């Protein structure tokens, strides 16, 4: 009889301990927090990469425009008489 009572008590304790099979332990909760942090970091890095890409495209466009303007100035000045260069050899006097 005692064995039957002890077996019943142990069985009810085992069932009571595993009542909620979906219960999370502390390591599972910590793992979920790590996963959430990693996801937020990934999203932040993607946004930063997009902004960097946009800035790079703007810089390329601005540089292209600057080269175009410089080229136009060179073309418009190509018909003018060039200024004497200081590195030209001096005339020899005889």
Q: How far is CA 37 from CA 11, 20, 32, 34, 50, in A?
A: 41, 27, 9, 5, 20
Alpha-carbon gap, residue 70 to 62, rounded angstroms: 12
> What pLDDT score does 70 carry?
94
Alpha-carbon gap, residue 39 to 47, rounded angstroms: 13
Q: What is the pLDDT of residues 66-89, one digit of tens each?
A: 999 999 999 888 765 555 555 555
The residue to which tokens 């979920």 are assigned: 32
- On the question of pLDDT at 8 being above 90, the answer is no
Q: What is the pLDDT of residues 36-64, one digit of tens each?
A: 999 999 999 999 999 999 999 999 999 99
């Amino acid at each position: 009889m005692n064995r039957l009572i002890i077996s019943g008590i142990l069985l009810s304790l085992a069932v009571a301990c595993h009542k909620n099979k979906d219960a999370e332990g502390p390591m599972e909760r910590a793992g979920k927090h790590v996963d959430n942090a990693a996801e937020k970091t990934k999203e932040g890095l993607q946004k930063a990469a997009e902004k960097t890409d946009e800035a790079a495209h703007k810089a390329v466009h601005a540089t292209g425009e600057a080269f175009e303007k410089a080229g136009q100035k060179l073309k418009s000045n190509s018909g003018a008489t060039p200024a004497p260069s200081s590195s030209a050899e001096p005339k020899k006097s005889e």
